[in-house]
Amino acid sequence: AQKVTQAQTEISVVEKEDVTLDCVYETRDTTYYLFWYKQPPSGELVFLIRRNSFDEQNEISGRYSWNFQKSTSSFNFTITASQVVDSAVYFCALSEAISNFGNEKLTFGTGTRLTIIP
């Protein structure tokens, strides 16, 4: 069965510090997608990134960067120069096929609550 582990339950850092959120996953699939979502207090899950299992290149988007290492089954997320607006719960998720038609579900980790202290 698929599993996503986010060992860090809560992290607090002072504004402008860098912070890394860890994600470790388990799957027997050879093709899968990994995701990161941000959940502000409003509850909506905001999509941040989707990464194909065949693409191990690191990705950078502004202050956000992601490090995908298949050898360690990890997909870590780093925020550089954190800001108060980054405060939220962050979820890592893994796709899993649920039909022969290409349908997939997401298996989420338990989330990491990030608090940026002004």
Tokens, residue 68? 């995908």
> Where in 51-80 is the site for another protein (CB under 8 A)?
none
Query: Exactly one of 31, 58, 110, 115 binds another protein (CB under 8 A); which one?
Result: 110
Query: Exactly one of 51, 107, 114, 116 binds another protein (CB under 8 A); which one?
Result: 107
Judged by CB, which is closer to another protein: 75, or 91? 91
E-strand stretches of 1-118: 3-5, 10-14, 19-21, 24-26, 33-39, 46-52, 59-61, 64-69, 74-79, 88-97, 104-108, 112-117
Tokens, residue 28? 């027997």
Q: Give yes or no for residue 21 binding another protein (CB under 8 A).
A: no
In 10 A of CB 33, how many CB atoms? 16
Q: Give yes or no for residue 93 binding another protein (CB under 8 A).
A: yes
Site residues for another protein per CB under 8 A? 4, 33, 35, 37, 42-47, 50, 91, 93, 95, 98-99, 101-111
